[in-house]
Copies of this chain bind each other. A is one copy, B any other.
Amino acid sequence: MIVSALLTSVGINFGLCVLFFALYSVLRKQPGNCNIYVPRLVAEDKSRTSYFNIGRLLPTPEWMGRAWQPSEDELLSSSGLDAVVFMRTITFSLKVFSLAGIIGVFILLPVNCTGNQLRDINFANLTNNSLDVFTISNVNNGSKRLWIHFCAVYVLTIFMCYLLYYEYKHVSSKRIAYFNSSKPQPHQFTILVHSIPVSAGSSISNIVKNFFMEYHPSTYLSHLVVHKASKFRDHFQAAFVSFKSRYGAAMVLHMQQSDNSTEWVTEQAPEPHDVYRPFFSSFFMRKWILKLVVIVACLLLTILFFIPVLIVQGLSNLNQLEILFPCLKSFLSMAFVSQIVTGYLPNLLLQLFLKLAPPVMMFLSSIQGFISYSEIKRSACKKVIWFIIWNIFVANVFSGSVFNQLSFFLEPKNLPARLAVAVPAQASFFIAYVVTSGWTSTSSELVRLIPLICSLIKKPFADPTTDKFEAPTFSYHWDIPRVLFFSLLGIIYFLLAPLILPFLLVYFCLGYIIYRNQFIYVYAPKYETGGKYWPIVHNSMIYSLVLMHAIAVGIFTLKKLRLASSLMFPLPVMTLIFNAYCRTRFLPTFTTFSAQSLINKDRDDNNDPEMAEFFSKLVSAYEEPTPSPIDHSTNSDSQTSPLLTPV
């Protein structure tokens, strides 16, 4: 791509951003749009109707100030820990790319420009020429100046690892504090048991009751068998079992109950409104097979998605398109059209194709056997990250025939060298991607175009008094992968083409203010994972770093600086060891709470007079909203005076 095409794309997107900001500022002031722009306030009945004045028609920036104000603790109490984790992902990236941007723009970029490896490029005619002069490709082979790049990689890695450690520690302490300050909630006292062995002549409810009365008589409180009437026969075979203390529930959860590990399988119960029911009654074996099927489906989908990616890459390469469609030749040879087609259209198309990924991954995760919406979203989030990295980054970098790529991945020895050739060549494509997908999509998030249009169409027919209004939930499974993908781009191109970094910094600044605004006014937390997204963010950052190291090894080999290439090897090894340490140190906090926390929390509750009422409600918390025959039973001996002390 030539510089003028990139400038066209930046220009269009900058214009769109300004338009979206102005539009939002005006639209938001219209009382009719409350449901779109401040649905949280509407749902909480806090929105005020303002009288008409001329200011309502003028764009003003004061909403930015309001979005800036709340502290992290205020955000935590209003939007939950997942929102805090999401915002910390953005601030983490801001910190990383501030340093990377300073090093990249003020040190690496001048070094790259002073090289003359790409001699045929004429500086005077810059705007019509390739951006390659700003990349590492322009540094002379074997130049001692490459040691500056080498040091930059070390500095960024050490800085990122330090920040990652600090953030992991912070988020895990937040997670513990969040649990410690939480009110008693049904899912803390409840587990889901499935694969219950059936015996003839005894109802499933009795089997469950007998089992827990026999083995956990002092902590067992009650249970609720989940029925699922299908066409052929009634399915049971799952039950919510509630306990008198959090520690009692955790004990049952963490110990294998039966000698046969496929029977009496226990899972942490989700929050009552987070329950996803279709897979309750599945047996161990069925869930296991479904998981396999989903993995295969994901792989297939990822491979099939090569096709649209190749089409998009075809657009970037205008000559190919002219050969395919000769009739378009005269049209495409117009300068403006060609700049739009190569600079803007490919990214727009890719964006549209990618919009399909999250719903498809959500569907795949939903048939994988998870029992809660939050876990489905979290699993979809991981799938989307993998999908985006694979399809946008890898496929775009190595656009060529699919078979060539497969054979190429079977030769990892050549991987760094190939990456070092292919990745810098795509720098301008990804700068365009940052402005299209990063700037414009994030700004359009502010205006919420689709809900706005839907509301305009619906308005004449809707009766505002009947429906209970509900604020939307945030799509973590789409926004986290996007932010992580931009971080990946930044980390990789930091070394290769630092010109991308200012564009990324603008994106993260936009993201910071816009997402904060949306969390405060738009998205309400409905269910949450309690910060479990952070390990995904952490792993993705580590993966990005190691990928950067691999590319650095390849670049230094290509540039004939063998020593730097060899001295790069310890870095990925140390990074992976650092990651292993973080896993052992912090990851357990994200899967379970400690005995100490649980017991202390149980003791605190013991003094709470409201607990008797809570326990009486706990029995029915997981009843299905629709009327259906439900078996539940309580441990009546002690229900009235639950022993909350751990025993």
Tell me the A residues contacting B by CB distance below 8 Å: 176, 215-216, 218, 250-252, 254-259, 261-262, 288, 292, 407, 410-413, 577, 581, 584-586, 588-589, 592-597, 599, 646-647
Contact = CB atoms under 8 A, between A and B. Distances in A.
Contacts of A584: 261-262, 288
19 contacts: A176-B259, A215-B646, A216-B646, A251-B251, A254-B254, A255-B594, A257-B594, A259-B589, A259-B593, A259-B596, A259-B597, A261-B585, A261-B589, A262-B584, A288-B584, A410-B411, A410-B412, A411-B411, A647-B647
Contacts of A262: 584-585
Nearest to A180: B259
A531 B411 CA distance: 40
Contacts of A589: 259, 261
A647 B255 contact: no
A584 B251 CA distance: 20
Contacts of A250: 255
B595 A256 contact: yes
A257 B596 contact: yes
Nearest to A296: B573
Contacts of A592: 255-256
B594 A256 contact: yes
A255 B592 CA distance: 9
A355 to B, nearest CB: 33
Contacts of A218: 646-647
A412 B254 CA distance: 40
B410 A596 contact: no
Nearest to A177: B259
Copy number in this complex?
A: 2
Nearest to A257: B595
A214 to B, nearest CB: 8
Contacts of A593: 256, 259
Contacts of A581: 288
Contacts of A646: 215-216, 218
A338 B254 CA distance: 64
A251 B252 CA distance: 9
A215 B595 contact: yes
Given A407-B413, A410-B412, A647-B218, A594 B259 contact: yes
A428 to B, nearest CB: 32
A577 B292 contact: yes
A541 to B, nearest CB: 21
A268 to B, nearest CB: 14
Nearest to A577: B292
A581 B286 CA distance: 12
B258 A594 contact: yes
B292 A261 contact: no
Among A176, A250, A596, which residue has the most Cβ atoms of chain B within 10 A? A596
Contact of A596 (B258, B288, B585, B594): B258
A286 to B, nearest CB: 13
A577 B261 CA distance: 18
Among A215, A410, A589, which residue has the most Cβ atoms of chain B within 10 A? A215
Contacts of A407: 413
Nearest to A412: B410
Contact of A261 (B252, B588, B597, B599): B588
Question: Lowest 8 CB-CB distances: which A-B pairs, in order?
Answer: A410-B413, A647-B647, A261-B588, A255-B595, A256-B594, A254-B254, A259-B594, A218-B647
A383 to B, nearest CB: 19
Contacts of A176: 259
Contacts of A413: 407, 410-411
A599 B596 CA distance: 23
Given A261-B586, A261-B588, A646-B216, A595 B292 contact: no
Contacts of A257: 594-596
A415 to B, nearest CB: 9
A133 B176 CA distance: 69
Contacts of A258: 594, 596
A7 B383 CA distance: 59
B410 A588 contact: no
Nearest to A588: B261
A426 B3 CA distance: 61
Contacts of A288: 581, 584
Nearest to A252: B595
A520 to B, nearest CB: 30
Contacts of A410: 411-413
A597 B255 CA distance: 11
Given A256-B593, A410-B411, A411-B412, 13 more contacts: A215-B595, A215-B599, A254-B255, A255-B592, A255-B595, A256-B592, A258-B596, A259-B589, A259-B594, A261-B584, A261-B585, A288-B581, A411-B413
A427 to B, nearest CB: 28
A577 B585 CA distance: 31
A216 B646 CA distance: 7
B256 A588 contact: yes
A257 B595 CA distance: 5
Among A261, A410, A412, A593, which residue has the most Cβ atoms of chain B within 10 A? A261
A589 to B, nearest CB: 7
A407 B259 CA distance: 47
A215 B596 contact: yes
Nearest to A261: B588
Contacts of A292: 577
A588 B646 CA distance: 26
Nearest to A266: B595
A216 B594 CA distance: 13
Contacts of A585: 261-262
Among A176, A259, A581, A647, which residue has the most Cβ atoms of chain B within 10 A? A259
A573 to B, nearest CB: 10
